[in-house]
A and B are shown apart, each in its own frame.
Chain A
Amino acid sequence: MVTEVVKIENLTKHFPIVGGILQKTIGYVYAVNDVTMSVREGETHGLVGESGSGKTTVGRIIVKLTNPTSGRIIFDGEDITRVKGEALRNYRRKVQMVFQDPYASMNPRMTVKSALLEVMKIHSMHKGSEYEYATKLMERVGMSEEHLYRYPHELSGGQRQRVVIARALSVEPKFIVLDEPTASLDVSVQAQVLDLLKELQKQYSYSYLLITHNLAIIKYISHRTTVMYRGVWVETAPTQELFKNPQHPYTIALMSAVPVPDPTLRREKIILKGEPPNPIEKVVACPFQDRCPYVMDVCREKMPPDTDLGSEHLVRCWLRA
């Protein structure tokens, strides 16, 4: 049986824009407008979309760094959208988030050891055996005990990202949001980190939400993938199926636009017209209407319905409805 570790339903997040002498709300940044998705036990679910499409905000909502405007978050079958106090502390132990820039997410004045022990202390984990657990974690991420005594600037980019991953693992979470975890790394090092994430998942059944704009990484490591546009999910499918059979015009354009390092392949690219959307405009009807080559009247009037294409492939587009 498949168990869904995390499920989000119709999530929205609108950031108020405050202005004027009275500091009143004069508008909103419509960051997340309707996202529904789930992550299963031991699964990597990829979340792709262009810059500003709301991916990080979705991740931050799930780990409760910010509250949604509306919608629900279900964790292990329980609605945790509004949990507080002890229940929230408990939740924080089960979910972790790894950010893009490993340098920015580490305190430059703290050794690796202090950083790891601090997190364990905050969550009262491994009482009395924190140090032993820290050395175990270092091993787990392919580093050695000696690295515990280093400061962030004494580590390479790949090593720093490993430490950040080790820190996330130190509270033994079930679920980890990985926000562009290798974006600051060179390809030769990126491969090491991606394989580490895969290996850890195999051994400990972690569930990942992998946020990235890199489709090649999605193809390499995600089991299922959701595509977002302007804060709305527009297509979701098992990754292999999505690559073989993309259905949403944005997904199709995105896949055709990715440069492929094979100079013998000559592909026709779909070049989209227009600019990225403005997030302060409310999303009514199809979020992709301004750039879609197939736009019809109905697309400007109503949000396309969720269309189930079978084999867990869902799309939101009037062409497929």
Chain B
Amino acid sequence: MLLSVRDLIVEFYTYRGIVHALNGVSFDLDKGEVLGLAGETGSGKSVTAFSIQRLLPANAKIVSGKIVFDGVDLLELSEEKMREIRGQRIATIFQDPHTYLNPVFKIERQFLDVLKYNDPEIKALENKKEAERIAFEKAVEMLKKVKMPAPERVLKMYPHELSGGMKQRVLLAMAYSLTPDLIIADEATTALDVTIQAQVLEIMKELQKEKNLSVLLITHDLGVIAENCQKAAIMYAGRVVEIGDVKKVLISPKHPYTQGLLKALPRTDKEVELVGIPGTVPDLVNPPTGCAFNLRCPYAKEICRTKVPPYTLEEGSTVACYLYGGK
């Protein structure tokens, strides 16, 4: 087990009151495994990613829970140790490249800095010139790996001179150059055109296989999950409500929310009649008691409105719903 998140509870303190963003998130990620994390807007996917990296904003608080990475609880680590993990072992790629690429510096400066501060070999070099040269070579090599045309030229460019797909590939190259154990990709291809998204996902797949990396692939696109992940986790209102083998979750979903999501999805591969899920996602300042889905669920019963459903194993998938577990 490379990563094990347990009962993670995260709150935000806002003028509106306390936002209960994560309400007991649990999942495991094996070495070499690609886990897809899906769910509608506000369900807590990004907050989960930020929590793992310990990069939550100041108004957030991890109330309780564990994030065990390679045997160590990240929540117990000093900030210094955590910085090392962020630099070398867990890399993140976000939807918006601006959070990572500074518009005023050329790609070369930013890429080489990442390597000089984080790559153990380059960091160890005494001779600064030598370090620059080796870092440059490594950057070029990594850009070639992500199939960037003319990598030397790209290094001399500013971020705004690159297309969205190229920026995303620069970020991929930077992230993979540190040979991390875990990559967290948060909607990394969402803003790209489908043909470009296909290019980028293909590159991610190759790199993942080559290094046997673990990937947490966050996306609201169930198609991306179906084609790139072995396991799928579905989030709703700050909880993972269903997790299992991707085939099980997407072909024979167990949780009423997962079922509803799939019935609401227009598809290119077959003719469907769409059925929307009535109502809207709950306000996380005043979340409903019991199962957070109970206001929209066609099967809700008395207990659903009072007590949070525990996890049960149902035909290989783990589900948080009172319909299962033989009660």
Contact of B267 among A156, A158, A260, A272 (CB under 8 A): A260
> Do A213 and B193 contact each other (CB < 8 Å), given the known contacts A258-B268, A272-B199, A276-B165?
yes
Residue numbers in A under 8 Å from B263 (CB-CB): 191
Does A115 have its Cβ within 8 Å of any Cβ on chain B? no
Question: A265 CA to B251 CA in the complex, in Å?
Answer: 11
CB within 8 Å of A: which of B229-266?
246-247, 250-251, 260-266
Is A243 at the interface (CB under 8 A from chain B)?
yes
Q: Which residues of A contact B199 (CB under 8 A)?
A: 271-272
Residues of chain B with a CB closer than 8 A to A216's CB: 265-268
Among B40, B193, B272, chain A packs the most CB atoms within 10 A around the CB of: B193
Binary contact track B211-222/A, C-beta < 8 Å → 1, others 0: 000000000111
Q: Nearest residue in A to B249 (C-beta to C-beta)?
A: A263
Inter-subunit contact B266/A217 (CB<8 Å): yes
Q: Which residues on A sit within 8 Å (CB–CB) of B260?
A: 188
With A213-B194, A261-B222, A264-B247 given, name 9 new contacts (CB 8 A).
A216-B265, A254-B195, A259-B194, A259-B201, A262-B269, A265-B226, A271-B202, A272-B195, A276-B193
Instruction: Report which residue of A186, A264, A275 has the largest number of chain B beta carbons within 10 angstroms of its beta carbon.
Output: A186
What CA separation (Å) do A253 and B251 show in the bound complex? Answer: 26
B interface residues (Cβ-Cβ under 8 A, vs A): 40-41, 149, 163-166, 193-199, 201-202, 220-227, 246-247, 250-251, 260-269, 272, 274-277, 280-281
Number of interface residues of A (CB under 8 A): 41
12 residue pairs bridging A and B, Cβ less than 8 Å apart: A158-B280, A187-B264, A190-B264, A191-B266, A216-B265, A220-B272, A257-B195, A258-B223, A260-B223, A264-B247, A269-B198, A275-B149
- In this complex, the member of A195, A216, A265 whose beta carbon has the largest number of chain B beta carbons within 10 angstroms is A216
- A158-B280, A213-B194, A276-B196 given; A264·B266 CB < 8 A: no
How close is B276's CB to chain A, nearest CB, in angstroms? 4
Residues of B within 8 A of A192 (CB): 276
Once the chains are docked, how many angstroms separate the CA of A275 from the CA of B281? 38
**Nearest chain A CB to B191's CB is how many angstroms away?**
9
| A189 CB to nearest B CB, Å | 7
**Contacting residue for A261 out of B163, B194, B225, CB 8 A:** B225
Q: Is the interface of B mostly helix, strand, loop or mixed?
A: helix
Query: Are A261 and B276 interface neighbours, CB within 8 A?
Result: no
- Asked if A255 is at the interface of the complex by the 8 Å CB criterion, the answer is yes
Bound Cα distance A119, B163 (Å): 39
- Nearest CB of A to B259, in Å: 11
User: Chain A residue with minimal CB distance to B202?
Assistant: A271
**B40 contacts A188, CB within 8 Å?**
yes
CB distance from A153 to the nearest CB of B (A): 12
Known: A260-B227, A261-B262. A269 touches B274 (CB 8 A): no
Complex interface: chain A residues within 8 A of B262 (CB): 261
CA distance in complex: A51, B191 (Å): 10
Closest chain-B Cβ to A245's Cβ sits at a distance in Å of: 14
| A255 and B276 within 8 A (CB) | no
> Which of B165, B195, B226, B264 has the most CB atoms of chain A within a 10 A radius of its CB?
B195
A276 touches B251 (CB 8 A): no
A194 to B267, CA, bound (A): 13
Q: Is A219 an interface residue (CB 8 A)?
A: yes
The answer for the CA separation of A190 and B163 in the assembled complex, in Å, is 29
A219-B266 contact in complex given A263-B227, A271-B198, C-beta closer than 8 Å: yes
Task: Give a binary string over A223-249; 1 marks a CB under 8 Å from any B CB, 0 the rest.
Answer: 000000000000000000001000000
Closest to B228 in A: A259
Enumerate the 5 nearest inter-chain pairs by beta-carbon distance, A residue then B residue, closest first. Answer: A259-B223, A191-B276, A188-B277, A192-B276, A257-B198
